[in-house]
Amino acid sequence: MQILVLYFSKSGNTKKLAQAIANGVDSVEGASAVLRNTEEVTKDDFLNASGVIAGSPVYFGLMAAELKKVFDDFISLRKKMEGKVGAAFATSGDPTGGKETTMFSIIQVMMIYGMVIVGDPMSATGHYGTACVKEPDEKAMENGAKLGIRVAETAFKLNS
C-alpha cells in the first residue's frame, strides 16, 4: 500500500519534515512512502496512493502556490480520490506565522477532493497535522513520523 508524501520546499525545512513523515510511513509493515516534490508528482502518484500527506512552507498564512497548483492541475482526479486518507504538514518562519491556517488550507482542498482527513495522533500533538518553526528539530521529526504512521494505519483500516 502506497502513501504519497507530497511537498513544496524552497529552502529545505519542509523537505526535511517530509522525509521524517515518509520514514514513519515506511515503518508500518506493508506500507511504503512515495516521496515527491511538487515538480515530480504525477497523476499516477495520486491514483496509486491510499493516502496523501501534503506539506508546504507557510506563505502568507496559506499553502504555497506551487502546492495549490498541483491540486488545481489534478482536478480531474477529484472523484477518484474520494475515501482516501488526507493529512497536512507545514513549516513557518515565525512561531505565530500561520502554521494552522496553512494546514487548514491544505485540508480544505483535500476535503473537496473527498478525502478522509486525519490530524496527528495524541502521542504527537493531537492537533491538525505536523508543524514547526523553520528547520524541524528532533521532536518535530518524531511527530512527523507519527503522522506518517497514523495515515498508513488509517489507510489500512479503511481498505480492510
- Site residues, ligand FMN (CB under 6 A): 9-15, 57-61, 91-94, 97-98, 134
Three-point CA angle 138, 1, 10, nearest 5°: 45
Q: Which is nearer to ligand FMN, 5 or 155 (CB)?
A: 5
Question: Smaller CB distance to ligand FMN: residue 7 or 154?
Answer: 7
Quote the least distance from Cβ 141 to ligand FMN, whole Å. 14
DSSP reduced 3-state for 37: strand
CB 146 → ligand FMN: shortest distance, Å?
A: 20
Nearest approach in angstroms of CB 154 to ligand FMN is 25
Helix or strand holding residue 71 (H, E): helix 65-73
- Which position's Cβ is nearest ligand FMN? 97
Q: Report which DSSP code applies to 113.
A: T
Q: Is the dihedral of CA 5, 140, 106, 80 positive or negative?
A: positive
